[in-house]
Amino acid sequence: MSAKKTTPSANLFSNRSTIDWNTALKPLFKKYQGRKHPLEYKNLYQLVVMVVLSARDSDRNINALAPALFEKFPSMKHLAKATPEELYPYISKVTNFANKAQWLIATAKEIKDDKNIPLTMDGLTQYSGIGRKSANVIMSQMNVPAEGVIVDLHTLRVAPRLGIAVGTNPEKIEKQLMEVVDKKNWHVLGMSLTYLGRETCRPTNPKCEECVVNEVCVYYKSQQH
């Protein structure tokens, strides 16, 4: 359904606290349960590197350059021995590649070995280029206990449309999601909202009629009047 507005008006969020979101989102969880992240990684090391490179860039671009990069630098040990200049030929098409090269090498020098890669929020976010969103992606893909919810550009759009959160600040959106959804569902929630935004709840002309959670969506309801 095409729409004139990008977000519903603030007064439509009054039902946020009255909805049982764990139940309301079950159709969404069922649809996307087990769906992997679009980054085509083969192990934890590759995932960490690709997540850092993908910031402000497309997953498609990172997937395209990854094979050559990992053939040359197949582990943290190999990456730790590299210089930023040695990385440039492999990542020069990536947004902010010079800084990302420095971040990745500094991280590799500290971690030293793939087996030392941490899988906690504090452990991951101590490294440059890994914020809460990136850490949540890594942790969700490794299926370790959740400490937060992935909030990417898609979720920033979808969550306010649904009415499950309000605002534009990623950390505030994440906090609101964590407040109304059980911790056991945080990983699937993050991936589900991401894929909903990619496939259905597009920035323009969202496919509202096809959405499995349109019955609780305040944006959809706002378009019925």
Report yes or no: 162 and 218 within 8 Å, Cβ to Cβ: yes
Q: What is the token pair recorded at 164?
A: 């499950």
CATH 1.10.340.30 in the chain is located at 44-131
Cα separation values, 150 from 138, 146, 168, 187, Å: 10, 10, 14, 7
- If residue 198 lies in a helix (H) or strand (E), which one and from where to where? helix 186-199
Question: Tokens 């139940």 map to which residue?
Answer: 23
CATH number of 44-131: 1.10.340.30
| Residue 159 buriedness (CB in 10 A; 0-12 / 13-18 / 19+) | buried
Answer left, alpha or beta for residue 35, where phi above 0 means left and psi between -120 and 50 means alpha: beta
Matching CATH number, 10-36+147-222, of 3.40.640.10, 3.30.450.40, 1.10.1670.10, 3.40.50.970 = 1.10.1670.10
CATH 1.10.1670.10 in the chain is located at 10-36+147-222
User: Over its length of 225 residues, how does the chain's per-residue pLDDT go in tens digits?
Assistant: 444 444 444 444 556 778 999 999 999 999 999 899 999 999 999 999 999 999 999 999 999 999 999 999 999 999 999 999 999 999 999 999 999 999 999 999 999 999 999 999 999 999 999 999 999 999 999 999 999 999 999 999 999 999 999 999 999 999 999 999 999 999 999 999 999 999 999 999 999 999 999 999 999 999 886
